[in-house]
Amino acid sequence: MRRIGSLASAVMLVALACTSGAPTSGEKPASGDKPVPGGRLVLGSTGDPKTMQPVIATDTTSSAVYAKFYLGLLRRDQKGNIVGELADKYELSKDGLTLVYTLRDNLVWSDGTAFTGDDYKYTAEAVMRSKKTVRKSTFDNVVGAADYKDGKTDGIAGITISGGGKVITIKFNKVYCPAIEDLSGAGAGVILPSVPFKAVWDNKTTDATKNIDDNALNMNPPASMGPWIFKEFKPGDRVTFTKNPKYYRGAILLDELVIKNYADSTAIKNALLTGEVTYAVVQPKDFDEVSKVETLKGLEYPSYSWDYIAWNAESAKAPWLANKQVRQALVYGLNRQAILDKILFGHGKLVNASQPPANAAYNDSDLNKYAFDVNKAKQLLEQAGAKLGADGVYRWTNGAPMKMRIETNQGNNTRETILQFAQEQYKAIGVSIDPLLESFNALLDRVKCCGTDNEGFIIGFSGLGPDPDHKDLWHSSTVAPDQFNRWRYRNAVVDKALDAGRDGPDCSEAARNAQAHIVDKQLNEDVPMVFLYSPNSLVFADRTLQNFAPNQYSTFYNIETWWFKK
Amino acid sequence: MGRFVIRRLIQAVPTLLGILVITFALTRLSPADPVSLIVGDTFGITKADRDRLAEAYGLNDPIPVQFVKYLGKVAVLDFGNSFYYHRPVIGLIVERIPNSLQLSIAALVVGLLVGVPLGIISALVRGRLPDHAIRLMTVVGHAVPTFWFGLLFVLLLGVQLRWFPIGSMNAIGKEDDLGDRLWHMVGPVLTLSLGAISNYPRILRTEVLEVLGQDYVRTARSKGLREQVVVTVHVLRNALIPVVTSLGGILTILIGGSVIIEQIYNWPGLGRLLFEGLINKDFPLIQASVIIGSSLLVLSYILRDILYAIVDPRITTR
């Protein structure tokens, strides 16, 4: 829950929308060349931003846009380390109950207003009073946040500003290990300019019905702390930015940024081929074709996402999904390597648990790799009590044929193909699959917890950041309506490790990664889902763009050095 | 004429009311949960978050109450906020209409300017090579699906040969360049007008041939009028009635047709907005698009009837 408001998520969302990352194809800065100022950067994207105001944003396109002009206190550098953005110091007390950020000197918004802790507090309070935000849980442990939400106070008591606006102190009721990064974006991921926004919503009011949700500034950002200043939004077409001369790291070399909206990934690919966009993400199927274009350079790096076939352990029609051996059989019975090679064209890595390869907590050295083995799959089914029927389909212990539905979202060619592939392969191990395609939103609605009328579904997670906290996915407390544990996974060992990773007492990175691995080990054995693969991010850019070297942590960590070589 | 128009407008009211009821009911009958549609697969949504969103969008009211509230808002052109864009639907639609109209009007003009002369020529030179060529062209034009023609145009003339842009309304940085805008319109307008260019010659050829055989045409010729005058004044005016008929509903046909064309050519118009609304199951946007589209259809039929009267004054007296 809390993860959504974090810088980690914001960074990752931007990464996914615009495609970020560290190059495996290894472009090095063009040393010896003198950077030339000027030029226009054009990014290919799909869809308009729903909003340019982070408090109410729920989509990656929006976050990719507002991250150009609103920043958080911290960020990830090119090596994945948490470093200061607008804050140059941060400290979590030993008891884990007090967090202090100290801002850099002389921070100024593009409109000349000073950036202070008041901007941070204003944003946090905007989150707490918003009716349309999905980010309030970031402040669950912050003193006074709930009272402010209910209009009992005119400010969040646990957030205080001192030192002439430079020191932000946050008090917690309870230890929260991801606090340093999660709270660095004031719950919204990035920080709003309080002075202009106060004209549309006063954070000092105790009228809890008033909020920041609907106002003209949401689509017309009034000031920037980032490298770019919002210039113009043409619906269905583009968002244009100019460079911010007051950017705290110094004005960038490029003059203009355009995020160009295309109908789909094929249109983006065509725009890359014709040179209409400077850089964009391509689909695995297009990688080879675009690679042949001499004017483009390709970059490939791991992502914080993975795709899976999840099983509903409480399915009425497929009670066998509650059995661990059956689930293991369903992993052995699927040739995941073939899926990776033939459907993803090798642009990814197989995963066997929750932490994606891009994450520092990833460690698959002692995990079962579940190499494709039809006989092993059948053997496990029989050990679980299934008996092979005359029609080649196993019968479960209650005599019912092992027939079940797997559904996925229509229009996603990769998932549709995986579904066809799984149908064929599971037939070979005596499990009959009834495939179903439906719209993405209809799919989410059908498989949400806690109905029993669904069995399996293919989908993907792209909301995982560099933080190892995956409590929302696997903790038994999240087996609840509208929560993420749609597979109804419950395990006491996993719960304990997830709680320790989030609530401490040891919040060190090593300790949290160790807890994350305990979770991964158990998941790898219990396989509540078939972990398929973590796809790589595939980015192509104009060869003349210098120092463009994104990685999974960030695309824009060195934006001030980008320039076009003529 | 005035009373006629007023009568037609009054008759349109129950039609539009029926459309309102049907579109509202269909969207509410959809199995998808509107709050799920709003938040998508956002990581970490709590039940409190969802309850708050449902309340904010008025989804907790009973369906009849929602409908009555909706009717009241539609009466003042308030179609609510888009689930997807978090903005008023009417604003989203209004900002896209000019873009679509550029294509629609240009396609209409091109269709008429090319289709009508071809139909007349085809009739006047019946049985000769130009007639055969035009008829062949209309058959081929009818057989080719417009989406296929559009895709071919983009891939061959845009991506491969680079003769035309692959889409969009302007090259970046040339937003105020009329020449660049026209250049970007070539593909979508040609694709959108393909149907009209293929259809009008076929209709007109038949009509012109029929009118050419009428007594009043023979009389006009026997009076010594020049052939050009006979054709434009006596033949064309009567032969155009079927073309006017086909113009009825042209507004919606052009908007409906441009859903695909705008998607192919990346044209930020109403059609593409509607397409995105359908993909995202953005109920308020879909409802508004259907209601506005239906209103345009009714309006275009009224306009057609007025045009009838202008082309053939006898129609008014019937």
**From A30-39, A43-52, A327-336, the region with the lowest mean pLDDT:** A30-39
Centre a 10 Å sphere on the Cβ of residue A45 and count the other Cβ atoms it contains.
24
Share above pLDDT 70 across residues of chain B, in percent, rounded to a whole number: 88
The minimum CA-CA distance between B148 and chain A, rounded to whole Å, is: 15
Give the rounded percent of residues in chain A with a pLDDT score beyond 70: 94
The amino acid at residue B1 is: M
One domain for residues B274 and B205: yes
| Most A-contacting residue of B33, B46, B153, B261 (CB-CB within 10 A), to test interface | B46
Integer CA distances (angstroms), A532 to A289, A343, A439, B164, in order: 25, 12, 21, 42
Task: Please indicate whether residue A373 or residue A58 has the higher confidence score (pLDDT).
Answer: A373
Q: Do A270 and B166 touch (CB under 8 A)?
A: yes
State which of B75, B108, B136 marks the end of a domain.
B75
What angle in degrees, to the nearest 10, is found between the helix axes of B178-212 and B129-143?
120
Across the interface, whether the CB atoms of A40 and B55 are under 8 A apart is answered no
Query: In Å, how far is A236's CA from the nearest CA of chain B?
Result: 5
* Same domain membership, residue B129 and residue B6: no
- A347 has a chain B CB within 8 A of its CB: no
pLDDT the model gives residue B255: 57
CB contacts of B154 in chain A (<8 Å) are 270
Q: Cα dist. B269→A43, A197, B5, B101, B257 in Å?
A: 21, 31, 30, 8, 12
A296-334, pLDDT tens digit by residue? 999 999 999 999 999 999 999 999 999 999 999 999 999
Q: From the candidates A41, A217, A482, which should be mutated to test the interface with B, based on the most B CB atoms within 10 A?
A: A482
pLDDT at B243: 78
> Is the CB of A482 less than 8 angstroms away from the CB of B263?
no
Tokens representing A49 are: 């931003």
B81 in a structural domain: no
Candidates A40, A134, A442; nearest CB to B39:
A134
CATH number at residue B257: 1.10.3720.10
| pLDDT score recorded for residue A399 | 95
pTM of the model: 0.81
CB pairs below 8 Å between A and B: how many? 144
**φ/ψ (deg, to 5) at A100:** -125, 125
pLDDT above 90: percentage of residues in chain A: 75
Least confident of A200-209, A271-280, B8-17, B37-46: B37-46
Tell me if A125 sits within 8 A of A134, measured CB to CB. no
pLDDT digits (tens, 9 = 90+) for A69-113: 999 999 998 888 899 999 999 999 989 999 999 999 999 999 999
Query: Which residue in chain B has the smallest CA separation from A39?
Result: B173
Report pLDDT for A18.
Answer: 36
Give a yes or no: residue B91 inside a domain.
no
Confidence of residue B9 (pLDDT cuts 50, 70, 90): confident
Q: Tell me what pLDDT residue A517 has.
A: 97
Looking at residue A26, its pLDDT comes to 39
Q: Who wins on pLDDT, A457 or A13?
A: A457
State the amino acid at position B284 in one-letter form. P
> Average pLDDT for residues A441-445, to the nearest whole number?
75
Strand A387-388 relative to strand A394-395, pairing = antiparallel
Segment of A286-300, B11-25, B291-305 carrying the highest mean pLDDT: A286-300
Regarding whether B111 and B197 lie in a shared domain, the answer is yes
Q: Do A441 and B43 touch (CB under 8 A)?
A: no
Highest mean pLDDT among A57-61, A495-499, B33-37: A495-499
In this structure, the answer to whether residues B153 and B249 fall within a common structural domain is yes
- Are A461 and A305 in contact, with CB atoms under 8 Å apart? yes
Q: CATH 3.10.105.10 spans which residues of chain A?
A: 306-535
Smallest Cα distance from A446 to chain B, Å: 8
A351 pLDDT tier (thresholds 50, 70, 90): very high
Question: In the prediction, which pLDDT does A383 show?
Answer: 97
**Surface of A (198-217) touching B: CB under 8 A:** 213-214
* Closest approach of B39 to chain A, Cα-based (Å): 6
B249/A167: higher pLDDT: A167
Residue among A137, A236, A472 whose CB faces B273 most closely: A236
B220 and B282 fall within a common domain:
yes
Q: Among B37, B172, B268, select the one facing A42 at the smallest CB separation.
A: B172
Q: Residue B88 domain-assigned?
A: no
* Residues A1, B46: C-beta atoms closer than 8 Å: yes
Confidence of residue B316 (pLDDT cuts 50, 70, 90): low
Tell which of B39, B41, B94, B180 to mutate to test the A interface (max A CBs under 10 Å): B41
What pLDDT shows up at residue B77? 85
Please tell me the predicted confidence (pLDDT) of residue B186: 96
CB contact (8 A) between residue A235 and residue B32: no
Q: Is B85 on the interface with A (CB under 8 A)?
A: yes
Q: Is A231 on the interface with B (CB under 8 A)?
A: no
Domain with CATH 3.40.190.10 in chain A: 14-46+227-301+540-564
Q: Is residue B63 part of a domain?
A: yes
Residue A402 CA from chain centroid, whole number:
35
Residue with tokens 């593909």: B187
Could you say which of A270, A276, A463 has the minimum Cβ distance to residue B154? A270
Task: Give residue B252's pLDDT band: very low, low, confident or very high (50, 70, 90).
Answer: low
Q: Is B27 near chain A, with CB under 8 Å?
A: no
Q: How far is A450 from chain B (nearest CA, A)?
A: 13
In a domain? residue B215: yes
Residues B168, A3: C-beta atoms closer than 8 Å = no
Q: What pLDDT was estimated at residue B1?
A: 67
Q: Where do runs of H (alpha helix) occur along A45-144?
A: 60-66, 117-129
Sheet of A87-92, strands arranged across: A87-92, A98-103, A167-171, A159-162
Complex ipTM? 0.74
Hey, is B194 helix, strand or coil? helix
Whether residues B210 and B265 fall in one domain: yes
| Partner residue facing B169 (CB), from A59, A237, A463 | A237
* Sign of the dihedral through C-alpha A278, A281, A283, A287: positive
Poorest-confidence range of A301-315, A448-462, B134-148?
A448-462
Q: Are residues B111 and B259 in the same domain?
A: yes
**What's residue A15's pLDDT?**
36
**What confidence score (pLDDT) does residue A4 get?**
35
Q: A17-26, A128-137, B54-63, B84-93: which has the minimum mean pLDDT?
A: A17-26
Residues of A in contact with B46 (CB under 8 A): 1, 134, 136-137, 482-483
B71 to chain A, minimum CA–CA distance in Å? 22
Parallel, antiparallel or unpaired: strands A456-461 and A545-546:
unpaired
Q: Which residues in chain A are classed under CATH 3.90.76.10?
A: 70-213
On the question of pLDDT at B188 being above 80, the answer is: yes
Interface of B with A in 190-249 (CB under 8 A): none
Number of domains in chain B: 2
B218 occurs within a structural domain: yes
Give the 3-state secondary structure of A262-291.
Answer: ECCHHHHHHHHHCCCCCEEECCHHHHHHHH
Is B122 in the same domain as B186?
A: yes
* pLDDT of residue B75 exceeding 50: yes
B-contacting residues in A 14-43 (Cβ below 8 Å): 40, 42
DSSP string, A3-46: GGGSHHHHHHHHIIIII----SS-----TTSPP----EEEEEEE
Give A102's strand partners.
Answer: A89, A167
The 3-state DSSP class for residue A513 equals helix
Contact criterion met (CB < 8 Å) for B264 and A131 = no
Give me the CATH code for the A70-213 domain, please: 3.90.76.10
Q: Find, in chain A, the residue whose alpha carbon is nearest to that of B95.
A: A235
User: Is A480 in contact with A449 (CB distance < 8 Å)?
Assistant: yes
Query: Tell me: the pLDDT tens digits for A220-264?
Result: 999 999 999 999 999 889 999 999 999 999 999 999 999 999 988
Classify domain A306-535 by CATH number: 3.10.105.10
CA atoms within 13 A on the CB side of A160: 9
Q: Which of B42, B75, B108 is the last residue of a domain?
A: B75
Average pLDDT, chain A: 90
Q: For an interface test with B, give the residue of A441, A464, A473, A484 to mutate (most B CBs within 10 A).
A: A441
Please tell me whether residues B214 and B104 are part of one structural domain: yes
- Angle, helices B89-124 vs B270-279, to 10°: value is 120
Residue at B57 is within a domain: yes
Name the fold adopted by A14-46+227-301+540-564: D-Maltodextrin-Binding Protein; domain 2 (3.40.190)
Which of B49, B89, B286 is the mutation pick for testing A, counting most A CBs within 10 A?
Answer: B49
d(CA A180, CA A467): 11
More confident residue, B5 or A400: A400
- B265 and B294 assigned to the same domain: yes
Domain span holding position B28: 2-75
Band the pLDDT of A10: cuts 50, 70, 90.
very low
All residues of chain A having their beta carbon less than 8 Å from the beta carbon of residue B269 are 236
- Give per-residue pLDDT as tens, A56-81: 887 788 999 999 999 999 999 888 88
From the list A2, A42, A56, the residue facing B44 with the nearest CB is A2
Last residue of a domain, one of B75, B106, B122: B75
For the cut 90, the answer to whether the pLDDT of residue A542 exceeds it is yes
Kindly state whether residues B105 and B44 are assigned to the same domain. no
The answer on B15 and B68 residing in a single domain is yes
Average pLDDT of the residues of chain B:
84
Q: Is pLDDT larger for residue B253 or for residue A463?
A: A463
Q: A263–B272: do the CB atoms touch at under 8 Å? A: yes
A 438-457 residues with CB < 8 A to B:
439-442, 444-446, 448
| pLDDT at site B250 | 62
Residue that wins the pLDDT comparison between A63 and A463: A63
Beta bridge partners of A100: A91, A169
